[in-house]
Amino acid sequence: MSLNERMRRVPLYFILTLCALVSCERKHPAARATEPSSSPASPTPIQSIAAPSAQPSQTPTSDFAQVAQSIRPAVIIVSVFDETGHLTANGHGFFVSDDGKFIADRSVIAGGVNAVAKAADGAIYNVSGALAQVAAQNLVLLKADATRTLPFLAASTKALPDIGGNVAVVFSQVERANSGVLEEKISGRFSDEAGEWFDVTPALPKTSAGAPVIDQRGEVIGIVAFRAGNNSCAIRPAAIAGTLLAQVSSNMIASWENLTTSSHFTTPTASPTATRSPTAAKIPLRGSKLIYAPAPRYPTEARQSRGAGQSSGSFRVLFD
């Protein structure tokens, strides 16, 4: 083969080699394009891990959420009925003894002749009446007819935090409108004829009346009470619980007459100078709703006062 023929074939070899290289480069991107097709599953674990992170935002800080777990079993919903047996109001309360004594707001009980207490575990107890009250502070000590030992809270005598301190209102597990714990900040400290009370931010709903207030250690340091003059709720020191219990003697019988023969109720009335808009005092509850519960016709104290014999009555609770 002559030198000229060899020189002509060199460009041909070079062109073939170049074409082969170009075809390989075109295949690599195609191969790389198919690789992500096997990896769409990789974002799935990220989404499944990130999703639960939204849950803590629905609850208060971990400190309050954790300590409230031991508080909530003693918090109850009180349903009050009139003479016809129809529901007039719902409110909060909490047990302060293992035999069924509990504290509630007097404005919720006003006008009622019968009531039941619905516990966190779903049990319903008839309320036989009142044992003691502090009318000025709008709180009352009532007695539920318990047949077993109940969880209860020991109120602390320590002072509430200073202005700017954090507290939390603990709601009943039966209520479905709230997450269970309402975190608040002390915004003011005041005194009136009933003693010291505290204002908080954000404003407390009327449905919180009777609920316990705790600090970050889980100690019950306050009680939510309705202030009729201002048509709003405030926090009273938990030491009131001790004052109420001290009024009860060992032989005292709970009676609804204890509410009417003592000082009259402070009936909630709207105030033209109120700084907060009224809130309907109706609590949506989980499960069946109490709508009708006539009072027993012959309570023990009525039989004793009238000299009656062994008459008996019935107690019914209907659900919608």
d(CA 226, CA 59): 25
pLDDT score for 283:
56
d(CA 241, CA 142): 12
What band does 17 get if pLDDT is binned at 50, 70 and 90? low
What band does 260 get if pLDDT is binned at 50, 70 and 90? low
Which residue has better confidence, 299 or 213? 213
Instruction: Tell me what the mean pLDDT of segment 234-261 comes to.
Output: 88
CATH 3.40.50.300 correct for 74-153+242-300: no
pLDDT score for 96:
96
pLDDT at 298 over 50: no
User: Of the given ranges (27-36, 70-79, 212-221, 228-237), which has the lowest mean pLDDT?
Assistant: 27-36
Overall pTM surpassing 0.85 (yes/no): no
pLDDT score for 97:
96
Is 154-239 in the same CATH topology as 74-153+242-300?
yes
Please provide the average confidence, as pLDDT, over all residues in the chain: 73
Instruction: Tell me what the mean pLDDT of segment 42-52 comes to.
Output: 32
pLDDT at 288 over 80: no
CATH 2.40.10.10 correct for 154-239: yes
Q: What percent of the chain has pLDDT over 90?
A: 36
pLDDT score for 125:
96
Q: Are 99 and 137 in contact (CB under 8 A)?
A: no
pLDDT score for 296:
53
pLDDT score for 135:
86
pLDDT score for 150:
95
What band does 285 get if pLDDT is binned at 50, 70 and 90? low
pLDDT score for 11:
58
pLDDT at 318 over 50: no
Q: Where are the domains of the chain?
A: 74-153+242-300, 154-239
pLDDT at 2 over 50: yes
Q: What residue type is 150 in one-letter code?
A: L
Which residue has better confidence, 52 or 179? 179
Q: pLDDT tens digits for 114-157?
A: 999 999 999 999 999 999 999 888 999 999 999 899 999 999 88
pLDDT score for 103:
97
Range among 53-67, 212-226, 302-316 with highest mean pLDDT value: 212-226
Which residue has better confidence, 39 or 74? 74
User: Of the given ranges (55-69, 99-113, 187-201, 245-259), which has the lowest mean pLDDT?
Assistant: 55-69
Q: pLDDT tens digits for 177-234?
A: 556 889 999 998 888 887 888 999 888 988 899 999 999 889 999 999 998 777 789 9
